[in-house]
């Protein structure tokens, strides 16, 4: 069996030149790295079960500081028993004792067949700049992952995935050849095999595979990794799943949650542990965590889904609002205390808060746009803003996703026009999921999506930019004094779409203002 000839990992690489048929047949979901630190990282792959059942070999892992894997190469053996149906033949390996600020290359080998080579950089001990790619919302059936091909070529430290890595519901397909056909025969994930099928299918995409090989990922999740708009019913002790066939069936819901968590963990290169035997389902996994890059930046990743209580006012979209918005909690007490501690004890130049859903207030014709965002959890939002203001924490940047729109917003104390900015919020567009321009309901408000955007901006003056017509990704670039956010649009309907720099904003930390560059 042959390796792909002349593998190049230069930043100008063509994604597909890295892939060979052999590596694809043995490692059908590719390789990945994730949750990097100064001296550790999690490496990941999946071995084709048919190949493993036949050969029963051990898996080898090579790590080197050169792309040629010559000279200084470390070899690790992963026993054949570690590759099994228990984890759907996925394998994770935590590398430790690495050197800070260094580029490493790695690859797996099974039965004489090598995976494509992967690459990651450990965090530097000190730095005065960093670039991060931000992605969210990647429905496989609704678009190609061309954006990932562009991300692969970028010089970045890591990719933050804000969630909706998979979608548990799939009835239609904007791209017919990518239509989802669940093993259960349903339109929605019903059990562990359905979730596994989703990850296997999403990760069969070669653009996604190459991006995961060339950059470390830091994964969060949103609702669709489990069920649409889910929330925890504290009175009943399990999750509420609106419009789900299992809703209100305690055992089914808890079983489904276990399956969703287990499979997310199996397929994501995250550095955490599962406690699925804990009596309290809220303790089965802890996704919120933080990452430190020298004294320069702290990335605080929060989980806006698992601990929130049920969305208020009964209606999620275009709601008048109600008193309940003042009684809801998004983070849950334990996470909130942890979050405040991270902010208060921060000695970093920047806090980047990876927050899954829109933080800023957003109304249209006096109706809340979506109460599944922080608009449904107003009191807790005010508590966070009080905390930032009282403690004079003005070096935070919020990155967010979920809305299938690009948004740049001046986060104000109480979202009043003339108040000072507490921090900027930068939201990245969906990578491939359906955006507002592919829907119709906005027509009752305006003649075009562009006009609808203008109305939203006018009626929410803290919003500098809102775009419902694009798909793509964003790059956050931090220097000592500025946070630059560049939104790249990539047409999801074409496999060869070029990327376009759609808009660019810069936040000045000391002046606390956002300026548009493009
Ligand atoms: Fe989404």
Collapsing DSSP states into helix, strand and coil, what is residue 492? coil
Average pLDDT, the chain: 95
Binned at pLDDT 50, 70 and 90, residue 274 comes out as very high
Residue 205 half-sphere exposure toward CB, CA atoms < 13 A: 26
Confidence (pLDDT) at 6: 34
Confidence (pLDDT) at 122: 98
Residues 428-434 have a mean pLDDT of 98
What pTM did the predictor assign?
0.96
Q: How far apart are CA 335 and CA 31, in angstroms?
A: 31
Cα angle, residue 350 at apex, residues 214 and 289 outer, rounded to 5°: 60
Q: How far apart are CA 151 and CA 343, in angstroms?
A: 30
- Say if residue 5's pLDDT is above 60: no
From ligand 1's centre to the CA of 138, what distance in Å?
Answer: 7
From ligand 1's centre to the CA of 206, what distance in Å?
Answer: 21
Binned at pLDDT 50, 70 and 90, residue 408 comes out as very high
Confidence (pLDDT) at 220: 98
Residues 100-113 have a mean pLDDT of 97
From ligand 1's centre to the CA of 137, what distance in Å?
Answer: 4
Residues 418-426 have a mean pLDDT of 96
From ligand 1's centre to the CA of 7, what distance in Å?
Answer: 34
Confidence (pLDDT) at 4: 36
Q: How far apart are CA 92 and CA 440, in angstroms?
A: 44
pLDDT tens across 228-258, in order?
A: 999 999 999 999 999 999 999 999 999 999 9
From ligand 1's centre to the CA of 220, what distance in Å?
Answer: 13
In CATH, what class is 15-121?
mainly beta
Q: How far apart are CA 322 and CA 374, in angstroms?
A: 14
From ligand 1's centre to the CA of 444, what distance in Å?
Answer: 23
From ligand 1's centre to the CA of 163, what distance in Å?
Answer: 7
Domain ranges of the chain: 15-121, 129-516
From ligand 1's centre to the CA of 121, what distance in Å?
Answer: 29
From ligand 1's centre to the CA of 270, what distance in Å?
Answer: 21
DSSP 273-309: ---TT-SSGGGS----EEEEETTTEEEEE--SSSSPB
Confidence (pLDDT) at 302: 98
From ligand 1's centre to the CA of 135, what distance in Å?
Answer: 11
From ligand 1's centre to the CA of 469, what distance in Å?
Answer: 15
From ligand 1's centre to the CA of 17, what distance in Å?
Answer: 30
From ligand 1's centre to the CA of 437, what distance in Å?
Answer: 15
Binned at pLDDT 50, 70 and 90, residue 71 comes out as confident
Residues 184-200 have a mean pLDDT of 98
Residues composing the chain: 518
Q: Give, as one character, the DSSP assignment of residue 169.
A: B
- Say if residue 12's pLDDT is above 90: no
From ligand 1's centre to the CA of 315, what distance in Å?
Answer: 18
Binned at pLDDT 50, 70 and 90, residue 417 comes out as confident
From ligand 1's centre to the CA of 344, what distance in Å?
Answer: 31
From ligand 1's centre to the CA of 108, what distance in Å?
Answer: 32
From ligand 1's centre to the CA of 404, what distance in Å?
Answer: 6
Confidence (pLDDT) at 242: 96
Binned at pLDDT 50, 70 and 90, residue 17 comes out as low
Residue 76, number of CB atoms within 10 A of its CB: 14
Question: What would the two tokens of residue 363 be?
Answer: 């109304």
pLDDT tens across 33-58, in order?
A: 999 999 999 999 999 999 999 999 99
- Return the CATH number of the domain spanning residue range 129-516: 3.60.21.70
From ligand 1's centre to the CA of 20, what distance in Å?
Answer: 32
From ligand 1's centre to the CA of 97, what distance in Å?
Answer: 37
pLDDT tens across 347-379, in order?
A: 999 999 999 999 999 999 999 999 999 999 999
From ligand 1's centre to the CA of 64, what distance in Å?
Answer: 37
- Say if residue 1's pLDDT is above 50: no
According to DSSP H, which parts of 78-167 are helical? 146-152
- Say if residue 19's pLDDT is above 80: no
Binned at pLDDT 50, 70 and 90, residue 73 comes out as very high
Confidence (pLDDT) at 10: 52
Which are the contacts of 1, defined by CB distance < 8 A and separation ≥ 6?
A: 22, 112, 113
Question: What would the two tokens of residue 99 be?
Answer: 């050197």
Collapsing DSSP states into helix, strand and coil, what is residue 421? strand
Confidence (pLDDT) at 3: 35
From ligand 1's centre to the CA of 18, what distance in Å?
Answer: 29
Residues 84-108 have a mean pLDDT of 97
Contacts by residues 415-418 (CB-CB < 8 Å, ≥ 24 positions apart):
415/360, 415/361, 415/460, 415/462, 417/461, 417/462
pLDDT tens across 138-166, in order?
A: 999 999 999 999 999 999 999 999 999 99
């Amino acid at each position: 069996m042959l390796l792909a000839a002349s593998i190049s990992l230069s930043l100008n690489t063509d994604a597909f030149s890295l892939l060979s048929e052999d590596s694809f047949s043995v490692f059908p979901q590719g390789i990945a790295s994730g949750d990097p630190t100064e001296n550790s990282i999690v490496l990941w792959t999946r071995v084709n079960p048919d190949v493993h059942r036949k050969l029963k070999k051990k898996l080898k892992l090579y790590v080197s500081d050169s792309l040629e894997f010559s000279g200084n190469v470390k070899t690790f053996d992963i026993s054949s028993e570690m590759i099994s149906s228990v984890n759907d033949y996925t394998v994770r390996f935590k590398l430790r004792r690495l050197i800070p600020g260094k580029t490493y290359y790695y690859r797996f080998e099974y039965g004489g067949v090598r995976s494509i080579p992967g690459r990651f950089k450990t965090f530097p001990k000190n730095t005065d700049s960093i670039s991060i790619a931000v992605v969210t919302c990647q429905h496989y059936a609704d678009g190609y992952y061309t954006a990932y091909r562009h991300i692969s070529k970028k010089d970045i430290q890591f990719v933050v995935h804000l969630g909706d890595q998979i979608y548990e519901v799939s009835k239609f397909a904007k791209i017919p050849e990518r239509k989802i056909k669940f093993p259960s025969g349903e339109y929605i994930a019903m059990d562990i095999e359905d979730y596994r099928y989703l990850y296997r299918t999403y990760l069969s995409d070669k653009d996604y595979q190459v991006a995961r090989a060339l950059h470390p990922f830091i994964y969060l999740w949103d609702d669709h990794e489990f069920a649409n708009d889910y929330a925890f019913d504290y009175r009943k002790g399990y999750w509420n799943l609106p419009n789900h066939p299992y809703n209100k069936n305690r055992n089914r819901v808890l079983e489904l949650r276990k399956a969703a968590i287990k499979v997310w963990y199996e397929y994501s290169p995250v550095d955490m542990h599962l406690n699925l035997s804990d009596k309290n389902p809220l303790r089965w996994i802890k996704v919120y965590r933080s990452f430190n890059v020298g004294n320069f930046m702290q990335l605080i990743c929060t989980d806006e889904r698992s601990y929130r209580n049920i969305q208020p006012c009964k209606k999620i979209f275009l709601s008048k609002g109600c008193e309940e918005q003042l009684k809801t909690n998004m983070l849950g007490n334990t996470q909130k205390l942890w979050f405040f501690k991270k902010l208060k004890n921060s000695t970093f130049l920047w806090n980047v808060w990876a927050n899954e859903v829109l933080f800023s207030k957003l109304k249209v014709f006096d109706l809340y746009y979506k109460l599944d965002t922080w608009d449904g959890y107003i009191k807790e939002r005010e508590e966070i803003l009080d905390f930032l203001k009282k403690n004079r924490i003005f070096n935070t940047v919020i990155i967010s996703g979920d809305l299938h729109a690009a948004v740049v917003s001046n986060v104000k104390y109480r979202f009043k026009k003339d108040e000072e900015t507490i921090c900027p919020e930068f939201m990245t567009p969906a990578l491939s999921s359906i955006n507002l321009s592919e829907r119709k309901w906005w027509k009752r408000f305006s003649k075009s999506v562009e006009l609808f955007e203008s109305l939203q901006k006018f009626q929410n003056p803290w919003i500098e930019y809102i775009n419902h017509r694009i798909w793509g990704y964003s790059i956050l670039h931090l220097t000592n004094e500025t946070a630059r956010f560049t939104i790249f649009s990539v047409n999801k309907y074409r496999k060869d779409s070029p990327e376009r720099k759609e808009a660019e904003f810069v936040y000045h930390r000391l002046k606390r203002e956002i300026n548009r560059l493009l």
